[in-house]
């Protein structure tokens, strides 16, 4: 009779224990690996240790030196490299309250150009110390104040002569002599010219945050106000002589004046659309469907061309010597401004400007 094999022998139990232990160990290892992976995934990106962070901030010291005496005025310390020169000027003003930021001129070299307020200190710093030369620019005024003051004077001065004040003209002679229609038309055109300038200064032109010396505003006001007084005195005088060719000369000259004024306005609007908030030209304007902007095809500064045309037309319309002298001086001055701007345009927008004249279409 066969006997059943006893499965509970010691060797058999040892084999079962060893096999079961191995199974339990592999099961525990898989659970531990799963828990570790879940922990890593829930923690997200591994952050660097605090020792890797740059806790030290580098500053720049700006030394302000007088351009004449070469003596040190002060040192503006702890200036971040990302700061601009305008920030340096404000800190310099805190150290020296008598120097306002608007009248502080800073140069990298003694005979070099004045640096713009938007220049960063980092672009000038070769080492941790930057030396800048200081120049007192004098009392400064903003560009908006400059143009509003310069254009408001001629508008009011001309009206004072137009109403023929008793302190200027003889009242008896003023009542006897009849005013020619060109006198009223000249007043309208003159006021229209300066009202346009004032409105464009307020709503069209974009000026940078820069300033100009007060003496420049005084010179400009003396020029415009003085010539306006001379022009208005002759045109509104009781003995004023009308143009030689009568109404035809007045009509065509007035028509040319109005066309030049309209062209000047549309050119200024086109230029304003191509200018950013800092007053810098982003691209050269191109002619549009507006016929007044087609002058961009011939010249790079058509606003000066229209301005010169306005005063030449006003000279023909009134036929007076003071207006002719004023128009002649204005043409010379605007041609100089146009040549200067034309050179800047050639550097920035060479392909678009290279075949254009500066102000007069015939001269290339």
Does 163 lie in the same domain as 176?
yes
Tens digit of pLDDT per residue, the chain (364 long)?
A: 334 444 444 444 444 444 454 444 444 555 554 555 554 445 444 444 444 344 344 888 999 999 999 899 999 988 998 899 999 999 999 999 988 898 999 999 988 889 988 899 888 887 888 999 999 998 999 999 999 999 999 999 999 999 998 889 988 888 888 899 999 999 999 999 999 999 999 999 988 767 899 999 999 999 999 999 999 999 999 999 999 999 999 999 999 999 999 999 999 999 988 765 555 666 778 788 999 999 999 999 999 999 999 999 999 999 999 999 999 999 999 999 999 998 888 888 877 787 788 898 865 4
Sign (positive/negative) of CA torsion 204, 210, 214, 215? negative
Question: For residue 4, which phi and psi values (nearest 5 degrees)?
Answer: -75, 140
Q: Report the alpha-carbon distance of residue 149 to residue 262 in Å, rounded.
A: 23
Does 260 lie in the same domain as 220?
no
User: For residue 260, what are the domain limits?
Assistant: 244-363
Q: How many other CB atoms sit within 10 Å of the CB of residue 182?
A: 23
Does 231 lie in the same domain as 263?
no
Residue 332 domain flag = yes
Does 252 lie in the same domain as 343?
yes
Residue 8 domain flag = no
* Domain stop point among 217, 241, 265: 241
Q: What is the pTM of this model?
A: 0.77
Residues whose CB is less than 8 angstroms from the CB of residue 212 and which lie 6 or more positions away in sequence, other chains included = 140, 141, 143, 146
Q: What pLDDT, on the 0 to 100 scale, is given for residue 294? A: 94
- The count of structural domains within the chain is 3
Does 248 lie in the same domain as 312?
yes
Residues whose CB is less than 8 angstroms from the CB of residue 22 and which lie 6 or more positions away in sequence, other chains included = none
Q: What pLDDT, on the 0 to 100 scale, is given for residue 273? A: 85
Does 248 lie in the same domain as 338?
yes
* Domain stop point among 221, 241, 261: 241
Number of H helices, E strands in the chain: 10, 6
Q: What pLDDT, on the 0 to 100 scale, is given for residue 160? A: 96
Q: What pLDDT, on the 0 to 100 scale, is given for residue 321? A: 96
Question: For residue 205, which phi and psi values (nearest 5 degrees)?
Answer: -70, 145
Residue 85 domain flag = yes
Q: What pLDDT, on the 0 to 100 scale, is given for residue 303? A: 95
Contact between 132 and 107 (Cβ < 8 Å): yes
Partners of 107 in beta bridges: 114, 133
* Domain stop point among 79, 105, 138: 138
Contact between 356 and 300 (Cβ < 8 Å): yes
Q: What is the CATH classification number for the domain harbouring 102?
A: 3.10.20.90
Does 116 lie in the same domain as 157?
no
Q: What pLDDT, on the 0 to 100 scale, is given for residue 209? A: 66
Q: Report the alpha-carbon distance of residue 206 to residue 273 in Å, rounded.
A: 9
Q: 186: exposed, middle or buried (C-beta count within 10 Å: 0-12, 13-18, 19+)?
A: buried
Residue 18 domain flag = no
* Calculated CA dihedral for residues 65, 67, 71, 77, nearest 10 degrees: 0
Nearest in space to 82 (alpha carbons), one of 130, 119, 126: 119
Q: How many other CB atoms sit within 10 Å of the CB of residue 120?
A: 14
Does 190 lie in the same domain as 107?
no
């Amino acid at each position: 009779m066969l006997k059943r094999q006893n499965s509970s022998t010691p060797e058999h139990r040892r084999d079962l224990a060893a096999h079961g232990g191995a199974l339990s160990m592999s099961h525990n290892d898989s659970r531990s690996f799963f828990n570790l992976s879940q922990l890593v995934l829930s923690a997200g990106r591994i952050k660097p240790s605090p020792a890797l962070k740059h806790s030290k901030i580098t500053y720049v010291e700006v030394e302000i030196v007088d351009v004449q005496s070469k003596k040190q005025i002060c040192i503006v310390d702890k200036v971040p490299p990302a700061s601009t020169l305008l920030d340096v000027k404000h800190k310099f003003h805190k150290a020296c309250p008598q120097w306002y930021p608007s009248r502080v001129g800073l140069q990298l070299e003694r005979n070099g150009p004045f640096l713009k307020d938007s220049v960063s200190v980092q672009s000038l710093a070769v080492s941790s110390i930057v030396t800048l030369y200081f120049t007192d620019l004098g009392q400064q005024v903003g560009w908006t104040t400059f143009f509003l003051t310069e254009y408001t004077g001629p508008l009011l001065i001309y009206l004072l002569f137009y109403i023929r004040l008793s302190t200027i003209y003889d009242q008896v002679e003023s009542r006897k002599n009849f005013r020619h229609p060109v006198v009223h038309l000249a007043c309208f055109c003159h006021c229209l010219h300066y009202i346009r300038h004032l409105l464009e200064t307020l709503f069209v032109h974009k000026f940078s945050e820069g300033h100009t010396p007060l003496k420049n505003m005084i010179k400009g006001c003396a020029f415009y106000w003085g010539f306006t007084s001379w022009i208005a005195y002759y045109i509104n005088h009781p003995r004023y002589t009308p143009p030689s060719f009568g109404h035809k000369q007045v009509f065509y000259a007035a028509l040319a004046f109005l066309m030049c004024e309209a062209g000047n306005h549309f050119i200024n609007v086109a230029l304003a659309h191509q200018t950013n908030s800092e007053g810098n030209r982003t691209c050269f304007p191109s002619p549009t469907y507006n016929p007044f902007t087609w002058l961009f095809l011939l010249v790079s500064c058509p606003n000066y061309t229209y301005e010169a045309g306005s005063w030449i037309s006003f000279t023909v319309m009134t036929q007076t010597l003071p207006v002719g002298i004023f128009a002649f001086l204005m043409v010379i001055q605007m041609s100089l401004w146009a040549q200067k701007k034309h050179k800047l345009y050639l550097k920035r927008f060479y392909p678009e400007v290279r075949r254009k004249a500066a102000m007069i279409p015939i001269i290339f």
